[in-house]
Structure 1
Amino acid sequence: MNIIRISSLLGVAGFVLQVATSKETLKVSVLVWPPGSNIYLGESVLLQCSVESNSSFEWSYQWLKRRPHAAPVPTPNPRHLVSGDSYSITAVTREDAGSYRCQAKPWESNTSVVLISQPVALSVSELPPPSLLTLTPSTRQIFRGERFTVQCPVSQTNSSGWMLRQFPQGRGVRRVFDTGGCSPLGGSVSADESNKCVFTAYSGKSGLYWCAGTEGRSNAINITVSYGAIILKTPAFPVFEGDKVVLYCQYWRGIHNKTTFFKNGAKIVTYSSTSSDRVIKMTIENVTQEDEGFYKCASQDREMESPESWLSVRLDRGNFTSTDGTAPSTSAGSWTWIILSCAIVALFLIPVTVWLIYHYRWCRCWPFSKADLPAVELPVTNQDVTEVQWDLSWMEMSNLLDKRLYPGS
């Protein structure tokens, strides 16, 4: 017991000594991937708690969030996942705006030293990103050995201005990989399009992907390469109310007679199959926001169960991308409303203007009816007369002015 206690005290003393000698380099901060404080609806975002220290201790992390004009969120959001030094957000919504910070403390030490980062404020943009990344097939989960393609948008000003970037998953030291081509990321250029990279899925290909260039960055998507026995493929990008959505439950191998689909942990439906097809489909006709949530599938005996995958549903398309990830062609909807509003205003103003001209041209109080008469200088009135005149009615005031301007009329 004494040996353990002495060892513990020596550990604390050693940590305190390390902190004292490296105080100027002891720092914790929050890194945002993709970089920047502006995030976009429907994309994936990852926050990383980074500790700069000369000590060799392992760190444990805790995350805090505060929404604008609201108390701290007491319960975790199902779209928010904490893993080690990472805080990931799946399918960003307006609720994800707020201030985030992390705190770190030594994992194997009884010391009370706690490092707290400065808050990082994230704002959710109501506008789409400058350009959009395209993923084929459109799914966040993919089996090892399968092929997928990531395509950067074609720049309007520079055909080679976009770079594909990846932030890999996993603990330990990580860095962003970027390239103007595909080979540095382990991919190959598509034979069809030079800005499309083809990858073969393995563990090193899991992570965040986005495109960056002089015009800004694209939306980011998180891809997970599975080494399990079953996955569920949901659309990687948001779908819109009224769309037809197909979820694919895919087995790695074998024949499975029955497959059950779940939403937010509750059973939805069970499909029977007698074919050797390893893919079971569930179709949602006319999807609504009530269909948004986490989905998974499982074999009949529940021995094989896929990881959950989020289905994001939006009310309307607006100026955002379609489900296949293509960019909006024009802002025709906005121009239509502008033109329609101008037409309505014009239809209202024209008859009103005509009526006013006709009415005041023939009104007795309008001076233009006597424009051919020589102008007569207005008499100077004292202050109290003016005050009385302003208390008169408009017609009485008009008669008074006529008598002064045109005597004998």
Structure 2
Amino acid sequence: MLLERPKSKVTIKPAQHVFRGDTVTLRCDIYDEGVTSWSYSWYKDGSTSGFCDQQEHTFSSVTESDAGKYSCNGSETEGSRWSQMSDAVALTVSAQPFTNLRFAYPRPYLTNLCSFPSSSCYLSSRASQHEAHNLLHCRSSDLLFYTSELLTVDCCPQLAFLGGSNLKLELNLSLWFESPSGTASKPLPKRKRPKSKVTIKPAQHVFRGDTVTLRCDTYGEGVTSWSYSWYKEGSTSVFSEVQEHTFSSVTESDAGKYSCYGSETEGSRWSQMSDAVTLTVSDPRAVLSVSSQKWLTEGDPVTLICEVYSFSTGWTFSWFTLTVSPENSHHYNLLSDSSRGAGGNYTVSFAALNHTGVYSCRAEREKSVYKTQYSNTQLLWVTGVSPPVSLIVSPSRTQHFTSVSLSLSCEDQSNSTGWRVRRYTDGGRLEYCSSLYRGSQTGSTCTISSTITSDTGVYWCESESGEKHHPVNITVHSDVILESPVHPVTEGDHLILHCLYQHTTSPNLRADFYKDGSLIQNQTTEMSITTVSKSHEGFYYCKHPERGESLKSWISVRGAGSSDVTYAQVK
């Protein structure tokens, strides 16, 4: 026997005719004996392409473009049966109607003003037939009257469209009645509408992840029960209809200005809209800085400073070193000599070689329980005398072009094996050469096949036991670079600097050369210092009027015969 296919049915809630900004849910139902699970397909205006495969599809804020005729069908989830296509159901979306204005006069005299945008509105009065006139005064001082229960209000028509659908008019209305003889009664007193009030607990300024409750209170004489509507600045849609609305874990997107109003649950009274109350949600960040230079010699003092900007009190701090495994897995290690305290400083009075590393901090607050993320990282480098290994860079310069090959080798006088190249990038990443997408480690040599600007950072040699030696600051830049030595220059040596341009067969540019911001040679293909002295130490860069300028490189000068090690810095 051929089973008749069941027919799908579409329902639209809350209604088929809604207003722009409303939340609307389409639901597809299929009732068939023996089928427990259906898959669904939704179609609009006869289109053959389905736009949703759920039983319910919700428009969180409908617009006129969502209007149309919707239909659906279903297929058995674990079977071969199909339903018939449902009848199409029309969804109509209109512009938001004019706010329904209610006036707080004693019932039964006045009940309602119209709730649609029109220059003529209707006022329904339950006054007795014996009262001949209803008089209505508008703010514009117009005076209109009509002698039936249904009063046509044409006064102030120009106000009807001001501000669009969100306009809330406060018309100063007075209502009284005249006797047939023309004697006016005393105007009925205007009852003042109560005003709602918003409170936020535990505070208006909270941290990300906190639990926050918004509460709306309306105190009106004679009203025992209120219904509530909540609004957030920038939206015309009601997002909650309960007296207390709770965010279990706030985020920055929940921040904003909130207001509410109340309506009598079993009556016609409405409160005034509350004043807007601002909820601020912060995500405090710990920021790490260094009191002095990051390149230190054994015995130098250094202080790491951890701060939480804009939230300067009530914090305690912890300090960490960042390590990375050969598999590029990062670990934050709490310093054994770091006790958590209110002070945001970690001081090393006499730097030793083992203080070389990448540091981070974080802050905690007990009053409003909160722990920041780990801060930015800072590299500290402590050098000694005559390191056992040298880092050889090829091409031999501190600045390099993008999209070229770069080689870095660790050379040890006694043992050329067991050394690997590591780096700390300007982006705060601690990496092995072998973990780079374009990098490879062969023996003690690291090769980057095609450089990019994010390869900029500090490179050094590290042994299997964790010894770190000979850091070199490498930058990768397009177009114009300064060709300067990787290693310190010895007093009395001859120093030559070139300005190189990437996109030419004759890379040496005729350029201006600067030291510490001052022009020292102009329009030359090379800058030459025949006899270097300590006074020549500083930051150098070159500039071409059309091609642009290079980054700045630090050129270090050491005394003749000195075994002190100073390293190049670039900024």
Q: Which structure dedicates a bigger proportion of its chain to helix?
A: 1
Larger Rg: 2
Q: Which has the higher contact order (CA 8 A, sep 6+)?
A: 1
Which structure shows the higher strand fraction? 2
